[in-house]
C-alpha cells in the first residue's frame, strides 16, 4: 500500500512598512516568533534595519530589509520589483500579510499649520498607504491580511494634531472600502487605532514621564502603551482565527478617554 508523506505548509510572509524600530520592529519580531518570514522597510534607519534582519535570521526565519519612502509614490513600481525579487529568492511569489505602519508625526496648531506640513501628512499617512497597497496587489496572496495603523486621534482630539488626525481618519475610511473591494479575493482589511505608545514616534514625545502620567490617569488599564501592545493587536488580526474580521477599526488604547 502506498504511503503519503505529510508536507508542511509554506511559512507566512509579512511585509511591514516602517519596520526598523518601534512598533514595526516589535511586530516583525512577534510574527517571526510565530513562524512568519518577514520583509521590513526603512527610510533612513539602515543600520537598525540590518540589525533587525540579523536578529530575525538568528531565529531561523528568512528576513529582508528594503529602503522605502512611503511619501514618494513614484518609487513604488521599483519597490514592488524589489519585493518580487526577494520573494523569488525565497522560492515564493506572494506576501500573505501587509502592515501599513510607516509614518511620521507633526504638531502644529490649526491656525499655524502650513500647506507643506499638511501635504507631508497626506503623502505619508493617506496617499502613500493607498497607492502602495494598490501597487502591491499583484503580490498579495488571495486570503491575505492587510492591517493599517491608525490613531485614537480620529475619535478624540488634541490641539495641534489636526492634520495628522484628519489623515488617519481617512485611513479608517480607506480600510472599509478596501475590505469591500478586496473581499472577493478573501483579503481581510482592518485598522488598529493606537493611543499613546512609548516609542520614538513624533520625536519620542510619549517618553516624557509627565505626559505618561497624564495619559495613564485617563486610561482604563492605568498605563500608556508600549510597542509590543500594538504588535500583539496586529498579530491577532493576521492570525488564522481572525479571518472573519474585516473592515473594522479596532482601538488599541488601553481604554483611553472612554
Task: Please tell me the distance from the alpha carbon of residue 64 to that of residue 45, in angstroms, as a whole number.
Answer: 14
Element (DSSP H or E) covering residue 139: none
Which of the residues 42, 130, 164, 256 is marked catalytic? 164
C-alpha cell at 50: 540590518
Instruction: Find all residues with CB under 8 Å of 183, minimum gap 6, and list them.
Output: 246
Task: Please tell me the distance from the alpha carbon of residue 124 to that of residue 118, in angstroms, as a whole number.
Answer: 10
Task: Please tell me the distance from the alpha carbon of residue 157 to that of residue 233, in angstroms, as a whole number.
Answer: 23
Kindly list the distances between the CA atom of residue 30 and the CA atoms of 134, 228, 242, in Å, as whole numbers in the listed order. Answer: 26, 8, 17
Smallest CA-to-CA distance from 15 within 124, 92, 73 is with 92
Phi and psi angles of residue 8, each rounded to the nearest 5 degrees, phi first: -80, 150
Beta bridge mates, 193: 150, 251
Respond yes or no: is residue 156 known to be catalytic. no
CA end-to-end span of the chain, whole Å? 64
Phi and psi angles of residue 74, each rounded to the nearest 5 degrees, phi first: -65, -20
Instruction: Give CA 99 to chain center in angstroms.
Output: 4
Which residues does the annotation mark as catalytic?
164
Amino acid at each position: 500500500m502506498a504511503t503519503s508523506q505529510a508536507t508542511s505548509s509554506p511559512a507566512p510572509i509579512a511585509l511591514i512598512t516602517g519596520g526598523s524600530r518601534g512598533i514595526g520592529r516589535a511586530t516583525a519580531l512577534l510574527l517571526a516568533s510565530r513562524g512568519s518570514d518577514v520583509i521590513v522597510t526603512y527610510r533612513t534607519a539602515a543600520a537598525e534595519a540590518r540589525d533587525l534582519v540579523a536578529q530575525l535570521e538568528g531565529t531561523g526565519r528568512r528576513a529582508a530589509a528594503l529602503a522605502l519612502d512611503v511619501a514618494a509614490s513614484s518609487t513604488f513600481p521599483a519597490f514592488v520589483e524589489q519585493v518580487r525579487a526577494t520573494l523569488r529568492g525565497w522560492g515564493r511569489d506572494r506576501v500573505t500579510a501587509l502592515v501599513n505602519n510607516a509614518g511620521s508625526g507633526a504638531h502644529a496648531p490649526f491656525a499655524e499649520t502650513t500647506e507643506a506640513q499638511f501635504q507631508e501628512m497626506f503623502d505619508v499617512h493617506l496617499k502613500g498607504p493607498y497607492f502602495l497597497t494598490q501597487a502591491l496587489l499583484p503580490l498579495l496572496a488571495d486570503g491575505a491580511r492587510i492591517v493599517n495603523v491608525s490613531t485614537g486621534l480620529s475619535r478624540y482630539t488634541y490641539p495641534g494634531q489636526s492634520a495628522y488626525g484628519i489623515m488617519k481618519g481617512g485611513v479608517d475610511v480607506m480600510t472599509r472600502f478596501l475590505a469591500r473591494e478586496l473581499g472577493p479575493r478573501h483579503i481581510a482589511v482592518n485598522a488598529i487605532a493606537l493611543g499613546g505608545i512609548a516609542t520614538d514616534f513624533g520625536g519620542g514625545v510619549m517618553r516624557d514621564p509627565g505626559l505618561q502620567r497624564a495619559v495613564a490617569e485617563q486610561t482604563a488599564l492605568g498605563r500608556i502603551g508600549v510597542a509590543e501592545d500594538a504588535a500583539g493587536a496586529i498579530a491577532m488580526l493576521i492570525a488564522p482565527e481572525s479571518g472573519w474580521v474585516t473592515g473594522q477599526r479596532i482601538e488599541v488604547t488601553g481604554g483611553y478617554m472612554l
